[in-house]
């Protein structure tokens, strides 16, 4: 290990808690900025909307596990769906440690215990994440073409709509026309890590299928966010049907965009504060600053609660089945 690598790791260990503190400070400032509006309302959550949000979130996880298994299968690793589900939820909670690397590390270790090559697991996680992030581009492009709303960023970005849409379409098209580039990139990364390359192939049809399934996953998550947003009421008021219809496209598109930006930030656990900040920037003109702040924090809290419940349930069931 080189001196530069050691120094970088030491710097990262020091920087991680700082990034976490900055993220928490950002959320505190966001709440403070909207406090006058928030304090005027008596917030409540409709149980039916909350249940629908939970079901859509569970559906999103099921689709994500399918996507990861499909990527793993393309790279020579094979796991039954039940085993993949156990690995997924056994490692899901550690992703809240800063760095965005702990869940993949946990999945790699657990899959290796089940006979899957480390290279195949690492490659499949990278391929899954690449497909998941690529699938956000057509969602964002369609949203900008049909609605063209950059939220609070509109004064700076409205004139660049066509350019941004073109870049998104070109990015997806390049990988669809040359799907082998993804495998080549994975093998290059493995070689840099001193690992053996993967003898794998990926066709345009297979990549297109993965992208379509990933889009379905994002729609499920966007629907979960929309449900929890519509379930939030203030002072006894609720969203009307026309208000929900008008807001739904914004909510469906904003969540995957904000999630992707939060994931790519790397510096905070699971994009903490970054995702909430992007949601605020995109949706404040649509929902109002107070409601979007509460909705962004509510979906985060609801996600953590369900992750703990599902991960705990899977752990208990797995332990009983092994006895």
Q: Mean of the pLDDT values across residues 5-22? A: 51
pLDDT tops 70 at residue 16: no
What is the percent of the chain with per-residue pLDDT over 90, rounded to a whole number?
Answer: 34
pLDDT digits (tens, 9 = 90+) for 210-248: 999 999 999 999 999 999 999 987 655 678 899 999 999
Residue with more model confidence, 232 or 257: 257
Please give the pLDDT value at position 323.
52
What are the angstrom distances between the C-alpha of 118 and each of 81, 238, 298? 19, 50, 36
CA 18 to chain centre: 23
Give the three-state DSSP class for 198.
Answer: coil
Helical (H) or strand (E) element with 233: strand 232-234
Helical (H) or strand (E) element with 89: helix 81-90
pLDDT digits (tens, 9 = 90+) for 259-275: 999 888 766 666 777 88
Residue with more model confidence, 92 or 215: 215
The 10 Å Cβ neighbour count of residue 184 is 13
Q: Where are the domains of the chain?
A: 22-33+42-322
When mean pLDDT is compared over 76-85, 105-114, 298-307, the highest value belongs to: 76-85
Local structure of residue 116 (DSSP, 8 states): -
Least confident of 6-10, 121-125, 191-195: 6-10
Least confident of 82-86, 139-143, 198-202, 235-239: 235-239
Instruction: List beta partners, residue 44.
Output: 233
Of 41, 64, 10, 38, nearest to 219 by C-alpha is 64
> Dihedral sign, CA of 13, 122, 105, 135?
positive
pLDDT tops 70 at residue 2: no
Of 227, 241, 240, nearest to 295 by C-alpha is 227
| 171 vs 177: CA distance, rounded Å | 10
Please give the pLDDT value at position 198.
76
Least confident of 1-5, 98-102, 208-212: 1-5
Please give the pLDDT value at position 151.
81
pLDDT tops 90 at residue 33: no
Please give the pLDDT value at position 133.
93
Q: Mean of the pLDDT values across residues 20-29? A: 54
For the chain, the average pLDDT equals 81
What are the angstrom distances between the C-alpha of 115 and each of 36, 49, 201? 56, 42, 21
Of 121, 154, 139, nearest to 283 by C-alpha is 154
pLDDT digits (tens, 9 = 90+) for 130-161: 899 999 999 999 998 888 778 887 777 777 78
Of 223, 235, 226, nearest to 44 by C-alpha is 235
Residue with more model confidence, 33 or 245: 245
Q: Mean of the pLDDT values across residues 48-66? A: 96
Please measure the distance between the N-terminal and C-terminal CA atoms of the chain and give it in whole angstroms: 43
Q: Mean of the pLDDT values across residues 198-212? A: 88
Instruction: List beta partners, residue 277.
Output: none
Least confident of 16-25, 114-123, 213-222, 242-251: 16-25
> Dihedral sign, CA of 139, 141, 142, 147?
positive
Please give the pLDDT value at position 119.
84
The 10 Å Cβ neighbour count of residue 3 is 7
| 223 vs 306: CA distance, rounded Å | 16
Please give the pLDDT value at position 66.
96
Q: Token pair for residue 232?
A: 């939030």
> Exposure of 117 by Cβ count < 10 A (0-12 exposed, 13-18 middle, 19+ buried)?
middle
Please give the pLDDT value at position 12.
43
């Amino acid at each position: 290990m080189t001196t530069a690598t050691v120094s970088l790791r030491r710097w990262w260990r020091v920087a991680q808690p700082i990034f976490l503190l900055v993220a928490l400070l950002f959320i505190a400032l966001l709440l403070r900025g909207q406090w006058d509006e928030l304090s005027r309302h008596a917030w409540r959550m409709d149980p039916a909307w909350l249940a629908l949000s939970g079901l859509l979130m569970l559906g999103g996880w099921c689709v994500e596990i399918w996507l990861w298994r499909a990527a793993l299968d393309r790279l020579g690793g094979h796991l039954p769906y039940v085993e993949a589900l156990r690995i997924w939820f056994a490692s899901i909670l550690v992703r809240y440690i800063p760095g965005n690397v702990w869940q993949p590390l946990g999945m790699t270790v657990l899959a290796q215990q089940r006979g899957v090559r480390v290279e195949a697991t690492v490659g499949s996680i990278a391929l899954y994440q690449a497909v998941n992030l690529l699938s956000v581009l057509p969602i964002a492009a369609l949203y900008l073409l049909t609605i063209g709303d950059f939220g609070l960023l509109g004064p700076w970005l409205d004139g660049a709509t066509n350019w941004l849409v073109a870049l998104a379409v070109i990015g997806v098209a390049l990988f669809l026309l040359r799907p082998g580039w993804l495998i080549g990139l994975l093998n290059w990364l493995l070689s840099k890590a001193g690992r053996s390359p993967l003898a794998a192939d990926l066709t345009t049809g297979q990549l297109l299928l993965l992208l379509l399934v990933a889009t379905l996953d994002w729609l499920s998550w966007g629907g979960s966010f929309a449900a929890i947003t519509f379930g939030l009421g203030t002072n006894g008021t609720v969203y009307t049907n026309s208000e929900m219809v008008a807001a739904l496209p914004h909510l469906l598109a904003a969540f995957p965009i904000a999630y992707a930006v939060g994931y790519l930030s790397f510096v905070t656990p699971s994009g903490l504060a970054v995702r909430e900040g992007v949601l605020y920037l995109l949706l404040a003109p649509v929902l109002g600053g107070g409601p979007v702040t509460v909705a962004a924090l509510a979906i985060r809290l609801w996600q953590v609660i369900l992750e703990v419940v599902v991960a705990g349930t899977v752990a208990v069931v797995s332990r009983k089945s092994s006895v």
